[in-house]
Amino acid sequence: MKDYKLEERTLGSILEDQARANGDAVFLRFRHEQISYHDFNTKVNRVANSLLKLGVSTGDKIAILMPNCPQFMYAWFAVAKIGGIAVPINTAYKWDMLRYALQKCDARVLIIGSQFLEQLLPIEQGLTRLERLIIYDEGGQHQATRTKFEHLAYDDLLNSPATRIETEVAFSDPMAIIFTSGTTGPSKAVLRSHHQFYCIASHCVRIMRATSEDILYTCLPLCHGTAHTFTALSALLCGAQFALGERFSASAFWHEVRDYKATAFSAAGTLLTMLHRQPLQPDDADNTIRVIPSASSIDPEVHRDFELRFQVKVIELYGLTEVGIVISNWPDDERPGSCGKALPEYEVKIFDDDDNEVGPNTVGEIVVRPRKPWFTMLGYYNDPEGTLQVYRNLWFHTGDIARCDEDGYFHFVDRKKDAIRRRGENISAFEVERVVNNHPAVLESAAVPVLSELGEDEVKIVVVLKKGVTLRPEELVAFCDERLPYFAVPTYVQFKEALPKTTNERVQKHVLREEGVTSDTWDRDKAGYKLKR
């Protein structure tokens, strides 16, 4: 990987440099299409010049609500080249969530896939800042005649000259607003600089030991940082190929990996668990993947079995949209079940509720601060109070609970807001889920607190079963009773067809908490089930 000078660390200048260096080498692969570094940069310049003609200027926010496709990436880099601020929008957003995102970011222009126009039309009267739509219509089947906004076709953007963009952009300038996953509440609008994107991607390249010979694959949505930063930008930095899938499918995943001959992919959320729970196949180990950075905590037994079954290397790490990758294992220095050690560019500590550092193996909140400037977010956009709150006492407070052992390895425990307190005992939702997920009938689960009559929490477990399998609540509770302390055994059990999730496969715990005890929830106490003590 080329180590760019500080002033060169902008997305547009890096793309120009890699296009000069790699020319006809393939950069982006999508379906059966292969786009060279030169051709990719040419199309980015055409889109950038078109945006300038439309009056888009430095600092303007351009929202992108599109499916995974090359056109998304042309727009992403074009906005970076002209000094704009890209705002990728979750394609699952609708009504209040979509209105909130578009209003929050002050977007003047929205680049939208035609299939998402139906989500926009019901709320467009409330979008007071939006001025123009640029519509990407791959199949030519949708019409935008009903919209109140000025609009033009995305394909028209590709008609401008491909001349180089001369806009001055600094490494410290804002490049994007990334909305957090919203797993515990409303999404926050994280303002990131060009330099922060560079840092995250370069860290990922180092962790993967990626080179120009690699093919980095993702099927996660491009609105999520794992796709555009861990994968697309990482490939760009080391002159590798970026293989883009349309969406995640557990059953089709390895087929697409083999088709692309992909050598690495970055996982997020429950993706690895979902792949691990797929039925065994005789060709599981017959794949081209060599390494998987995973931004999630994995049961050590699942970690080992996954590596053996698929013959890959899983590297666990920890990071957030706001601060990037701050803790990681390494191929030659890892401790399965941990997130690894703090990267040298960051100070990472464990604090108690009063912001005092705790000792080894004591549970507390992960707090972070960079040792160098421009490594973390610029702040929450239009939310100075929220920014000050998370940077309390000059440390970024992650909201995640962990412990650090005597050797400096961090062990994730839970989201702070997911902690459940029952009868004076603190219960980790993560630990309850780990036990439940080990039941052979369970595909996945989510543990959430529900308010009891005593004013404390009771544990509710929401369970998705494997296809074609049945399980009685009593059987599941008995399974938990053998493996959990009595106070952590779920009081309530609910079976669902699927858990509510963000598009990057993170469970929306706040939705389940708000549902509470539903009419189809089994109650252990009312059923007369007695726990062992």
Confidence of residue 445 (pLDDT cuts 50, 70, 90): very high
Q: What is the pLDDT of residues 407-442, one digit of tens each?
A: 999 998 877 776 677 765 667 787 789 889 999 999
Superfamily of domain 420-523: ANL, C-terminal domain (3.30.300.30)
Q: In this predicted structure, which of 33-37, 129-133, 307-311, 485-489 has the lowest mean pLDDT?
A: 485-489
Quick one: which of 310, 244, 246, 261 has its CA closest to 283?
310
* Overall residue count recorded for the chain in this entry: 533
H helix or E strand, kind and range, residue 509: helix 509-515
List the chain domain ranges.
6-191, 248-415, 420-523
Q: Which helix (H) or strand (E) holds 212?
A: none
Nearest to 364 by CA among 372, 374, 355: 355
CB atoms < 10 A from the CB of 258, how many? 14
Same topology between domain 6-191 and domain 420-523:
no
Query: CATH fold of 248-415, please?
Result: Rossmann fold (3.40.50)
Q: Distance between CA 414 and CA 297 in Å, rounded?
A: 9
Average pLDDT over residues 308-334: 94
CA-angle at 529, arms to 528 and 533, nearest 5°: 130
**Residue 14: φ, ψ to 5°:** -65, -40
Give the three-state DSSP class for 35.
Answer: strand
Q: What is the pLDDT of residues 217-232, one digit of tens each?
A: 999 889 888 888 999 9
Indicate if the alpha-carbon torsion angle 103, 105, 111, 117 is positive or negative. Answer: negative
- Report residue 500 as tokens: 């509510």
Between 316 and 277, the higher pLDDT residue: 316
CA angle 193, 194, 200 (to 5 degrees): 90
Q: HSE-up of 296 (CA within 13 Å, CB side)?
A: 21
Q: Per-residue b/e over 269-285, b at no fewer than 16 CB within 10 Å?
A: bbbbbbbbbeeeeeebe
Q: What is the pLDDT of residues 366-389, one digit of tens each?
A: 999 999 999 999 999 999 999 999
Question: How many C-beta atoms lie closer than 10 Å to residue 191's C-beta?
Answer: 21
pLDDT of the residue at 273: 80
User: What residue type is assigned to position 284 of the chain?
Assistant: D
Q: How far is CA 175 from the centre of its chain?
A: 18
Q: Could you tell me if residue 311 is left (phi over 0), alpha (psi between -120 and 50 degrees) or otherwise beta?
A: left
Q: How far apart are CA 47 and CA 202, in angstroms?
A: 26
Type of residue found at 197: F
Rounded Cα distance, 304 and 297, in Å:
13
Handedness of CA 136, 142, 147, 150 (dihedral sign): positive
Dihedral angle, C-alpha 254, 255, 257, 260, nearest 10 °? 180
Closest CA to 63 of 34, 7, 105: 105
Signed CA dihedral, 234, 65, 257, 333: sign only: positive
DSSP string, 95-121: HHHHHHHHHHTT-SEEEEEGGGHHHHG
Rounded CA separation 405/411 (Å)? 8
Give the mean pLDDT of 92-117. 90
Architecture of domain 6-191: 3-Layer(aba) Sandwich (3.40)
Name the pLDDT band for 183 (thresholds 50, 70, 90): very low
